[in-house]
């Protein structure tokens, strides 16, 4: 673990730098941290994420995601920006979900 990658994006953000913290294939979890990018907030040190896939009662899967923001010393977080970022991420997730539901063999 500890691998650092740069992910190219489109839109407002040009790229993000991520660090893989842990991947547990048996428990379907993936932990990673965003450590920088363009643009990057001057008041955020890093953002850590945990993604977990769990079984749903209907036989499908549920994706659970949690995040933790770490402000730089002496800085405060802008809750409105955090909420806006979460909404963008959720929109991207819903787009991917729709594609996978429409194309169930896409990842086989």
pTM for this entry? 0.80
- 59 and 17 in a single domain? The answer is yes
**CATH code of the domain covering residue 37:** 3.30.530.20
- 52 and 101 in a single domain? The answer is no
- 19 and 67 in a single domain? The answer is yes
Which residues of the chain fall below pLDDT 70?
1, 39
Query: Nearest Cα to 9, choosing from 42, 41, 36, 32?
Result: 36
Domains contained in the chain, number: 2
* Separation between Cα atoms, residue 32 and residue 18, nearest integer Å: 7
Segment 24-52, tens digit of pLDDT: 999 999 999 999 888 677 889 999 999 99
Domain span at 94: 78-107
- 82 and 70 in a single domain? The answer is no
- 40 and 86 in a single domain? The answer is no
């Amino acid at each position: 673990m500890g691998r650092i990658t740069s992910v190219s994006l489109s839109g407002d953000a040009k790229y993000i730098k991520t660090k893989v913290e842990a991947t547990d294939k048996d428990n379907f979890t993936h932990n990673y941290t965003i450590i920088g990018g363009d643009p990057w907030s001057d008041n955020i040190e890093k953002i850590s994420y945990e993604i977990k896939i769990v079984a749903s009662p209907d036989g499908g899967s549920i994706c659970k995601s949690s995040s933790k923001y770490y402000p730089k010393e002496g800085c405060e977080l802008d809750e409105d920006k955090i909420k806006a970022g979460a909404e963008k991420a959720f929109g991207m997730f819903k787009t991917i979900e729709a594609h996978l539901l429409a194309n169930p063999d896409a990842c086989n």
